Structure 1
Amino acid sequence: MATDGRLFGDGTRRSKGDQARRYNLLAARLIAELIKNSLGPRGLEKMFVDIMGEVTVTKDGATLLRKIDVEHPAAKVIIEASNAVDNEVGDGTTSVVVLAGALVQKAEELLDIGISPSTISEGYLNGLNIALKALNDISKEYDNTDRQVMERLVRTCIQSKVLAYDDKVAGFVVDAVCTIANFSSNSIDTDDIKIEEIEGMLDAQLVTGIVIDKTIDSSAMPRAVENAKIMLINDELESKRTRADAEIRITSPDQIKSYGEAEALMIKSKVRHIIDSGANVIFSRKGINTLAQHLLTGAGIISVRRVKENDLLWLAKATGATISEKLDHEHDDHHEHGHHHHYDHPHDHDDHSCFAQIPKKCVTSAIVPLLTQFLYCEISLLGRR
């Protein structure tokens, strides 16, 4: 602790009065200068590299401002304003920062000619009231089921971000929102819309259901199933791997054979349990070995292994199925299958995507990757109608 009565260490400077005010205005203006050239369809993308080396390339103002680390209070206020608009509206995050930066710049000019800060603040508040009144005067009320209005909103949002886009993308967004929206109660959960990037797709596609970016385990399995009965499992259909190093001491060839037969018997027992359950499509978070794949193929069952945990949760939410942790008869009461209207593994996506269609449950948009970061804005915008 310092003995000379000082509260702060060496190198600390104190500013007050007009100097402190100028520093605050400068910090706010620098944040606006940082992202203002990202605004509009001709805006530039920004690249941000964090301390872990992860690279983020985006022209979305809110995404960039959430990444950067600032300490200045005035700069934080601008960032919080952008986040507030993002949470409340879903779009306009860059615009609000650019507008705030312009107001700060004009405030500096007014201070230079001797106008007091209180007068400038009062003038800005009066201007806000005038702007709000003008917006209320020109605003119109529409029914929340008016598709034309919703599509115009989406087009306006997209056109402010990209120079060229397929006009039917706006229809995809509106279709997705209308599928999951409850118009009678004016409620919508935009988390029920999943955006999936699929490499090699040349066109956007909307699927009423779930898209899993995985291939089926065997080419001999069926490619499509109508009225599929889905089973979600989190149990291994392969040899178990120990968490620690382990070894098995075998002294004779018969023991090797017995060990292999015991493993095969365990796999066959689990597969028999799947077959007896009546499921014809299974998604597993863990592995499925070649023996299990062969047995499932013979029973006409489609299997997809090593599905991501989030995708498995999506499937459980969409189908109403429970995730089976153990494949044995002792846990039969904990198994509940999900039902799909249609399951498909199309040939025209390089064998990397499974489509599971569920009417009126949830929506997955398989889209062109260029539009990914923008579609979140449009969905959020319509979700706050």
Structure 2
Amino acid sequence: MAKKVFYGDDARTRVLGGAKALYDAVKVTYGPKGGNVVIAKSYGGPTVTHDGVTVAEGVDLPENDDETLGYKVGAELIKQAATKLNKVAGDGTTTVTVLTYNILKEANRLIAAGHNPQELRKGIEEAGREVVAELDKISESIEGKNARVAEVATISAGSQEIGELIAGVIDKIGKDGVVTVEAGQGLEMESEVVEGFSLDRGFTSALFVTDINRQEAVYDKPAIVITDKKLSSIQDVAPILEKLAQAGKKDLVLIADEVEGEALSVMVLNKLKGVFNSVAVKAPSFGDRRKEILEDIAVLTGATVISEERGMNFDNVGLDVIGSARK
């Protein structure tokens, strides 16, 4: 299919048309009295939601004729804004959709009336800074205010029961706690607070995944081995794997400066064959900060950091350097 290029008023009108189509679908969910949207799927049953970003992602604008060419671009602009806010704040996607569309619409009107697009951009950015500054002045901190947290969570979740449950969890773990949602076996919702530690790192290979749907590697009370060494050969990891196997341990979380090459391959192969369930994790941060974090993890898990600075390696350490943790 030959590509078509649009300019000026025609291009802006097409982009705005796509933005409006997405805006019309998402705006229904706006505010505490927002309604639900039903999204049909190509497989499975329909989804009923009042989450703005979910509605936005469910809108796929076809470009079947000359009239709708360019609509997809406008819709994607709105989606990008909503998705970015969702990643940063986890909410407010409907608000940003409504604001973005109206800014686009007004900018299009002013440009058509002869205003300079670059001057408009500068004005919008300056106005944005002023609005943010004003919002900072009138904003209210709800940290420690369980009832206020419940109000916000209830609006976001669309359920008072869920809102109160979330508020209770946040009250227990604080704003820096990590929340994991799992499907339960019964009909009741419940929460459990587990003392733990969150790392800004994940597994080094997707082949370590144990839960394909959630893309997670999950082990309960695995052996935890921590080292500041770079592991790249079979000889680097074979001694500790043999010691763990002899002790009857089959689950391993290995945190190292780097796990690559043959060392990574043998761990993946053992996991795929069911010989040894393992996951390799690259140590977070750099330099002295990395050493401090590894020591923190060691204290929490009961492990000892296997460090070259101390003359330690997998050949000359025993099982007493190994830690463990709950799921």
Q: TM-score, normalised by structure 1?
A: 0.44
* Preserved CA contact (<8 Å) 2:23 2:98: yes
Question: Which residue number corresponds to residue 158 of structure 1?
Answer: 154
> Bigger relative contact order, structure 1 or 2, given CA contacts below 8 A and separation 6+?
1
1:26 match: secondary structure:
helix
Cα shift at 1:30: 2.0
Q: CA deviation digits over 1:246-274, x for unaligned, max 9? A: xxxxxxxxxxxxxxxxxxxxxxxxxxxxx
* Preserved CA contact (<8 Å) 1:151 1:174: yes
- Alpha carbons of structure 1 residues 309 and 334: separation in structure 2 relative to 1, 3 Å: farther
* Preserved CA contact (<8 Å) 1:36 1:94: yes
Q: CA deviation digits over 1:218-238, x for unaligned, max 9? A: xxxxxxxxxxxxxxxxxxxxx
Distance 1:83 1:309 in 2: 21
Distance 1:132 1:30 in 2: 28
- Alpha carbons of structure 1 residues 115 and 175: separation in structure 2 relative to 1, 3 Å: same
- Alpha carbons of structure 1 residues 335 and 20: separation in structure 2 relative to 1, 3 Å: closer
* Preserved CA contact (<8 Å) 2:36 2:48: yes
Question: Which residue number corresponds to residue 100 of structure 1?
Answer: 100
- Alpha carbons of structure 1 residues 309 and 25: separation in structure 2 relative to 1, 3 Å: closer
- Alpha carbons of structure 1 residues 157 and 172: separation in structure 2 relative to 1, 3 Å: closer
Question: Which residue number corresponds to residue 190 of structure 1?
Answer: 179
Question: Which residue number corresponds to residue 14 of structure 1?
Answer: 5
* Preserved CA contact (<8 Å) 1:42 1:161: no
Question: Which residue number corresponds to residue 43 of structure 1?
Answer: 34
Cα shift at 1:197: 7.4
1:72 match: secondary structure:
helix
Cα shift at 1:104: 1.9
Cα shift at 1:92: 0.8
Question: Which residue number corresponds to residue 60 of structure 1?
Answer: 51
2:248 match: secondary structure:
helix
- Alpha carbons of structure 1 residues 108 and 14: separation in structure 2 relative to 1, 3 Å: same
Question: Which residue number corresponds to residue 138 of structure 2?
Answer: 138
Cα shift at 1:102: 1.8
Cα shift at 1:160: 6.0
Mapping for residues 266-277 of structure 1, pairs under 5 Å: none
For residue 248 of structure 2, what is the amino acid of its counterpart? D
For residue 170 of structure 2, what is the amino acid of its counterpart? V
For residue 194 of structure 1, what is the amino acid of its counterpart? E
Which structure: greater strand fraction?
Answer: 1
For residue 51 of structure 1, what is the amino acid of its counterpart? S
For residue 50 of structure 2, what is the amino acid of its counterpart? K
Question: Which residue number corresponds to residue 334 of structure 1?
Answer: 249
Q: CA deviation digits over 1:11-35, x for unaligned, max 9? A: x543112221222222222211121
1:57 match: secondary structure:
strand
Distance 2:116 2:217 in 1: 58
Percent identical: 19
Residue ranges of structure 2 left out of the alignment (5+ in a row): 62-70, 195-211, 224-244, 252-327
Distance 2:32 2:185 in 1: 22
* Preserved CA contact (<8 Å) 1:38 1:45: yes
Q: TM-score, normalised by structure 2?
A: 0.51
- The CA RMSD over aligned residues, in Å, is 3.8
Cα shift at 1:100: 1.0
Mapping for residues 1-385 of structure 1, pairs under 5 Å: 9=1, 12-69=3-60, 72-139=72-139, 146-148=143-145, 150-159=146-155, 162=158, 165-166=160-161, 169-179=162-172, 181=173, 187-191=176-180, 193-194=181-182, 196=184, 198-199=186-187, 201=188, 204-207=189-192, 316-317=219-220, 320=221, 333-334=248-249
Cα shift at 1:44: 2.7
- Alpha carbons of structure 1 residues 313 and 124: separation in structure 2 relative to 1, 3 Å: closer
Question: Which residue number corresponds to residue 377 of structure 1?
Answer: none
Distance 1:138 1:92 in 2: 17
Cα shift at 1:176: 2.2
Question: Which residue number corresponds to residue 214 of structure 1?
Answer: none
Distance 2:185 2:33 in 1: 24
For residue 98 of structure 2, what is the amino acid of its counterpart? V
